Amino acid sequence: MLIEGFGLKRYYQRGSETVKALDGVDIAIDAGEIVAILGPSGSGKTTLINLLSCLDAPTEGTLTVAGKSVAGLSEDELVEVRRGVLGFVFQDFSLLPTLTVTENVELPLLFLGLKAEASRTAAILEAVGLTDRAGHLPRELSGGQMQRVAIARALISGPKILVADEPTGNLDKKTGEAIIALFKKLAREEGLAILLTTHNTVFGEQADRTIVLEDGRVVWES
Ligand SMILES: Nc1ncnc2c1ncn2[C@@H]1O[C@H](COP(=O)(O)OP(=O)(O)OP(=O)(O)O)[C@@H](O)[C@H]1O
Ligand SMILES: [Mg+2]
């Protein structure tokens, strides 16, 4: 198991009111599987995915990522757990406008103080179908291409699991389908586990497993 969570809760305090964004979720993600999290707006999808990515800590419950318990770890220790295990694809792509596609993709390595290998970057750009856009700036790309840059950037440090919050949310139907096809290829060829949230039940059906949240709880699971 790459990720195992038991009894995960995340409560927010809003004045005197307690918002139970996540209210006792058990979840396990295995190597190489695609898991889609569905549910209405406000059901806790982003909250769950942020917990599983160690971007946020649970109010209660236990979480193990790549065999390490993450309870009570400091920010630096969490970065260490994420490194080489988790690749996160941001919904708004978060590309730097003045950097080329190649430079954006290699940026995480720079932050880690590592040198990018040109052949590896090229292989990843090829995997996401962006070889002919390597020298372009983000503003010269379509939405689907920007999304693929964000995916390539999440892949550069060799994660075992790719996490994407609404990766198709800003894309039209056809481009969204292409991104899902890319995820399937990555899972099949690279053995990557992929965890994504979506509002689109059609994309949900293409996953190996589906988890449906409502009011912070799992109400259906396949
Ligand atoms: N920082 C926060 N402070 C207070 N409440 C929050 C915070 N973040 C999320 N919530 C609340 O937690 C609940 C779950 O939010 P979450 O963002 O996980 O939903 P979601 O399923 O991702 O929704 P969407 O489909 O709209 O993205 C919502 O009621 C939201 O208002
Ligand atoms: Mg969300």
| pTM attached to this predicted model | 0.90
Angle subtended by helix axes 101-111 and 143-155, to nearest 10? 30
Q: pLDDT tens digit string along 123-166? A: 999 888 899 999 999 999 998 899 999 999 999 988 999 999 98
What is the distance in A from the centroid of ligand 2 to the CA of 120?
Answer: 32
DSSP 116: P
- How far CA 142 is from CA of 31, 93, 96, 133, 213, in Å, comes to 31, 12, 15, 11, 32
Q: How far apart are the first and last CA of the chain?
A: 17
Q: pLDDT value at position 59?
A: 93
For ligand 2, the distance from its centroid to the CA atom of residue 44, given in whole angstroms, is 7
Question: How confident is the model at residue 128, as a pLDDT?
Answer: 87
For 94-120, write each residue's pLDDT tens digit: 899 999 999 999 999 988 888 989 999
Q: Is 21 in the pocket of ligand 1 (CB under 6 A)?
A: yes
Residue type, 86: L
- CATH code: domain 1-85+161-167+192-222 is 3.40.50.300
Please tell me the residue having the least CA distance from ligand 1 atom 26: 41
- Segment 184-204 shows an average pLDDT of 89
